[in-house]
Amino acid sequence: MTKSFSLLALGAALVASSASAQETLTISVYSFAQDAYKEALYDPFEEICGCELVIETGNSVERMAKIEANAADPVIDMAVISSHDALSLAQKGLLQPLDTSKLSSFDRLYPAAQDPIGGNMAVGYTFYASSIVYREDLVSIESWADLLGEGLAGNVALPNITGTQGPLTLMMLNKAAGGDGADFSGTISEIGASADDIVTFYSRSSELAQLMNQEEVIAAPVGRFAWSRFKSSPLPFAWADPKEGQAGGMNVMIMTANNGNEELAYKLMDYWLSTEVQTRVAEALIDSPANMDVVVSDEVADNLTYGADLINSLNILPPAQIIENRDAWVDQWNNEVIR
C-alpha cells in the first residue's frame, strides 16, 4: 500500500513538474476572428511546440499602451499590429530587430512585407484592402465622396481617427476631393461639418457589423479582413469599387525588446508565415496571405486581398507619414468632430 501510494505521488509530481516547465508565449493580437485563429493557428502550433500560447486581445491603442507601460519588464513577447503602430513602437525603442534567418519563409514573402518599416523591426504577415461596404438594394457607391453626400446622411458610419481604418479613410476622402499628401485638415473639417449626419465613429469592425445588420447603418469604410462578416449576412451587402481606388495597408509581426522569450517567438512567426499556415488561414477567410506561394481558389480569393495585381494597386499611406501627422489629425478631430 505504501509503495503504491509512493508511485502515485511520484507520478503526480512528474506531471506537475512537466506542467510547470511548459514554455509559455504571450502574444498580443487583434480581437477579430479569434475562434477561427484558434483552430487554424494556435491549437496546431501548441501541439507542435508542446507549449502554451497566452492570447491577449484589444484595440491598437490599448495594446500599444500595455507594451509601453511594461517596457522595463515586458509582459508581451510578440504582437501583430499595423505597420504604422509598429513604427511608432520602434521609434520609442520598444522593439528588437528580427533575425530573418530564423524565418524559413522570409524569401517567399512579397517584397513589401519583408522589411516594411525599416531596420528589420517588423515583418508583414497580411495585406488588406479597405473600401466601402454598403447596402446595394438601398444605395449605390461610385466614390469615396459619397460617404459625406446627402444620399447617406443619417445612415453612414466612419472609423474613429485612432483606429487602423481612420487614416486610410481620411486619405481616400482627401483624394476624392482632389487633395494629395498627408494634409487632411480640410477633410477633417468636412467630416466635422457633417458630424450630425454620421451615426457613429466606430472603433471595432464587430461593432460596425452589428449596426449594419440592425440596419442602422447602410454604408461604411471597412477592411477586407472583415468582409466575411458582411458577406455572410442575409442582407444584400456589396463591396464598393470607388473610382479613386481602394485604400490598403499591412499588418506586421513584431517582437518586444528584451522579452527573454525570443526563440519561441521566432518559432511562432516562422510557423505563421509558412505556406501551409498562410494557405490555411486564407482558406478560412481569416487573413489575406503575405506569402507569395499561397494558391487559393477563385471563390476564396474573392474574399481576400490576394495576388500581386491587387496588392500593387492599393493606395497605401506610408507609415512614416501617419506617425508624423497623427497628433495633428487627432487634435483637429477632437476639436472639430468629437464635440
Within-domain flag for 10? no
- H runs (alpha helix) in 222-315: 227-231, 262-273, 275-283, 298-301, 308-313
Within-domain flag for 230? yes
**CA 171 to CA 176: how far, in whole Å?**
9
Q: Which amino acid is at 197?
A: D
pLDDT of residue 15: 45
Write the CATH number for 100: 3.40.190.10
pLDDT of residue 21: 61
Please check whether residues 218 and 157 belong to one and the same domain.
yes
Please check whether residues 58 and 198 belong to one and the same domain.
no
- H runs (alpha helix) in the chain: 2-21, 34-37, 43-49, 60-69, 83-91, 111-114, 165-176, 185-193, 205-213, 227-231, 262-273, 275-283, 298-301, 308-313, 319-336
CB count within 10 Å of CB 235 equals 14
pLDDT of residue 8: 54
Please check whether residues 147 and 168 belong to one and the same domain.
yes
312 burial (CB, 10 Å; 0-12 / 13-18 / 19+) is exposed
**CA 40 to CA 166: how far, in whole Å?**
29
Within-domain flag for 176? yes
Q: Are 206 and 32 in contact (CB under 8 A)?
A: yes
The residue behind cell 478631430 is 333
Listed residue (123, 119, 209, 222) closest to 166, CA to CA? 222
CB burial readout 201-210, b (16+ within 10 A) else e: bbbbbeebbe
Please check whether residues 113 and 49 belong to one and the same domain.
yes
Please check whether residues 328 and 300 belong to one and the same domain.
no
Please check whether residues 228 and 305 belong to one and the same domain.
no
Please check whether residues 133 and 235 belong to one and the same domain.
yes
Give the number of domains in the chain: 2
Please check whether residues 263 and 144 belong to one and the same domain.
no
Q: Are 119 and 90 in contact (CB under 8 A)?
A: yes
Per-residue pLDDT of the chain in tens (339 residues, 90 and over written 9): 444 444 455 454 444 444 446 799 999 999 888 999 999 999 999 999 999 999 999 888 899 999 999 999 999 999 999 999 999 999 999 999 999 999 999 999 999 999 999 999 999 999 999 999 999 999 999 999 999 999 999 999 999 998 889 999 999 999 999 988 889 999 999 999 999 999 999 988 888 999 999 999 999 999 888 888 898 899 999 999 999 999 999 999 999 999 999 999 999 999 999 999 999 999 999 999 999 999 999 999 988 999 999 998 999 999 999 999 999 999 999 999 987
**Secondary structure class of 256 (helix, strand, coil):** strand
Please check whether residues 228 and 331 belong to one and the same domain.
yes
Please check whether residues 209 and 101 belong to one and the same domain.
no
Looking at residue 216, what DSSP letter applies?
S
Residues 6+ apart with CB under 8 A from 150: none
Within-domain flag for 69? yes
334 burial (CB, 10 Å; 0-12 / 13-18 / 19+) is exposed
DSSP β-ladder status, 52-57 and 237-239 = unpaired
Please check whether residues 231 and 327 belong to one and the same domain.
yes
Range of the structural domain that residue 171 is part of: 128-248+318-336
Within-domain flag for 212? yes
Within-domain flag for 4? no
pLDDT of residue 291: 97
Please check whether residues 165 and 120 belong to one and the same domain.
no
Within-domain flag for 6? no
> Cell triple for residue 35?
475562434
Within-domain flag for 14? no
